[in-house]
Amino acid sequence: MAHYLPHHQQGARFPERQRPYDDNNTQRPNRPELWRRNVVAVIFNEDGHVLGCNRKDRKGWQCVQGGVEDDDKEILAAAWREIDEEIGLLEKEHRLEFVSVLPPPNNDPTVLRYKFPKFAAPGLRAQGYVGQQQELLLFFAPKEAIKFVRLVPTPQHIAAGAKQEFRGVSWLSFEEFIPKTSDFKLHIFSHMHTTSWPIIVDFLDKRFGKVDRPFQGAQNGAATNYEEAAYAKPSGNMARVREREEEVPRKQHEKA
């Protein structure tokens, strides 16, 4: 299995993907009021696959996420609301379970910030936000839950300002999912992987028994994706990822 490096080491593994903030970026904004508080719902199934969501408005995959409102009593309530609004899954009806909060690196929440690119979030940028500070929550859902995903918001959600966020969702291994994410969020999803994986394995081991490689694939022909009819199921191209991973050690050895 591929292991993704912490955000501050990713330049070696993904040299062509520039992180929004690195150690040499002296222009990093630090005013807390400019960063919108945001919750991410990382949903995994019994195969250890994560629910990847393909954005409707632009290229890139992500997890369910949304802003934390002033009237949210706790971050978990915000996560449940976003899961309902964006993909239509409910805690009891679809057997979702909250598993854990994923702490930020070195307990520094500012590391999980990303700056809005120029093409994204014009409404939030107009309000003065330069980006979002994310908080990661881990959830379990049975793989059959994907059959109940609703991509189009209900009239009630639309009246509250919700809109369709995704064109499709799929159960993906971390190796498939992370290369599909946007460059400006790569450091967050790589941290999500390294932090969540031990928790996922422990959860599956206790719930289903000994698990060696739960991300091998869906079993018994269960559905693994839900998409709009016009959207073809994506195919992962992991060969390029493995080539990059193998190429970096070779180059480092040649320089030594």
Interval 125-144: pLDDT, tens: 888 899 999 999 999 999 99
Pick the residue with more confidence: 188 or 222?
Answer: 188
Average pLDDT for 54-77? 89
Confidence at residue 120, expressed as pLDDT on a 0 to 100 scale: 82
Q: How high does pLDDT run on average in the chain? A: 77
State how far the Cα of 11 lies from the Cα of 65, in Å rounded to an integer. 25
Planar angle of CA 14, 16, 18, nearest 5 degrees:
85
> CA-to-CA distance for 44 and 40, rounded, in angstroms?
13
Decide if domain 33-227+236-255 falls under CATH 3.20.20.70: no
Cα torsion 175, 168, 18, 125: sign: negative
pLDDT tens track for 30-44: 555 689 999 999 999
